[in-house]
Amino acid sequence: MRQATVYIDSSALQYNLNRVKQLAPSAKIVSMVKANAYGHGVKDCLAALKESDAFGVACLQEALEIRQLGYQQPITLIEGVFSVDEMPVVIEQNIEIVVHHQQQLDWLLAYKEAYNAKKLKVWVKLNSGMNRLGFKLEHIKDVIHRLKAEGFNCILAMHFANADADHPLNDEQIRQFLEVKNDCAPLMGSCCNSAAIYKYPELHFDFVRPGIMLYGASPFADKTIHNLDLKPVMTFTAEIIALNSIKAGESVGYGSTLTADQDMDLAIVSIGYGDGYPRAFPQQNYVAINGQTTRVIGRVAMDMIAIEVTSLNVDLGTEVELWGQTRLVDDVAEANGTIGYELLCRLTNRPRRKVL
């Protein structure tokens, strides 16, 4: 049987959730489990994250899956509802919504009694310069005053465009957020994703919304998970299915992109882009065997890669770590010109999954 495997370490998830608790002790934690828990498998992750105060997802279908799995915590739809017919379902299932534009506000007001009867909170989104979703500064205070007058329990919500970097927009976003929060006081607030949880302890307010840090990948380009005291949750492995040697001047794989400058021992590993292992690698990529890193050689194919094993102690069936403990997903992402988030989310369902 093909042995490509995604291991999910529940204790690492719990460790990372505890890191959020340490960093933001007075805020409630909305664990972001959208996109199948960032590709980790929502069912297994919910079990490990059950101490969260709430969950955050991108759409109703994701929220209903959480309810079907039996979890009763509050759930926030971070983009709100996509059509008015979702409103009765949301209310029936005790799901909280973001409102980020006028049409959603009208839909919410049309369901005012039922929504408020369930004491559901409304997350009112400020567009402070990211310019994706939200009401602009000059409009949002009226929206909040109106909602409060209609009896809604509001939370001011905002998302940073550059929480992972020192960017001049950060100060402007914070200025706008604080202005709205003060002018509409009393008003609950939430603006911190993983990077902002680390970077802005003074902005944790009522709810923090950690995503990537729960899964043990770094939100910062210049900080590793070791710097941040996080543990990798996913370990992605495959096995050696053939051993080969090539002589200087020979090449391996499609396109014959690498010509060996000296004799080389190769192992063929049963993993490829059909599993979600990235193909591009503008920079040299590596895998790990027993804690030791070694080069990927030539092109990644749909089902196979070649790695160098000269002077390594390997055999058929030896397990190769594509990312996980030794070879961090963030490093694989960097070599591929992307971010850990993308590699984690875009795994296919071909590798088998095992929860530890």
Ligand X SMILES: Cc1ncc(COP(=O)(O)O)c(C=O)c1O
- Among all residues, which ones are annotated catalytic? 34, 254
- Residue 193 in the binding site for ligand X (CB under 6 A): yes
Residue with tokens 């875009």: 346
- Residue 99 in the binding site for ligand X (CB under 6 A): no
- Residue 52 in the binding site for ligand X (CB under 6 A): no
Kindly tell me which residue out of 8, 12, 27, 32 binds ligand X, with binding defined by CB under 6 A.
Answer: 32
**Which residue lies nearer to ligand X by CB, 2 or 223?**
223
Q: State the Cα–Cα distance between residues 204 and 29, nearest whole angstrom.
A: 10
- Residue 129 in the binding site for ligand X (CB under 6 A): no
Q: State the Cα–Cα distance between residues 47 and 58, nearest whole angstrom.
A: 19
- Residue 211 in the binding site for ligand X (CB under 6 A): yes
For residue 171 the two structure tokens come to 């100060």
**Which residue lies nearer to ligand X by CB, 32 or 335?**
32
- The window from 187-195, 240-248, 265-273, 309-317 that contacts ligand X (CB under 6 A) reads 187-195
Which positions from 147 through 176 interact with ligand X, judged by CB under 6 A?
A: 159
C-alpha distances out from residue 52 to 20, 173, 197, 209, 292, Å: 10, 27, 15, 10, 36
**Which residue lies nearer to ligand X by CB, 187 or 212?**
212
**Which residue lies nearer to ligand X by CB, 224 or 283?**
224
- Residue 23 in the binding site for ligand X (CB under 6 A): no
Q: Could you give the count of Cα atoms lying within 13 Å of 113 in the half-sphere of its Cβ?
A: 0
Query: Is beta strand 352-355 parallel, antiparallel or unpaired with respect to 5-8?
Result: parallel
- Residue 184 in the binding site for ligand X (CB under 6 A): no
Minimum distance from CB of 262 to ligand X (Å)? 43
CA nearest to 158, candidates 197, 182, 195, 129: 129
- Residue 212 in the binding site for ligand X (CB under 6 A): yes
Minimum distance from CB of 109 to ligand X (Å)? 23
DSSP 68-112: HTT--S-EEETT--SSGGGHHHHHHTTEEEEE-SHHHHHHHHHTH
**Which residue lies nearer to ligand X by CB, 223 or 350?**
223
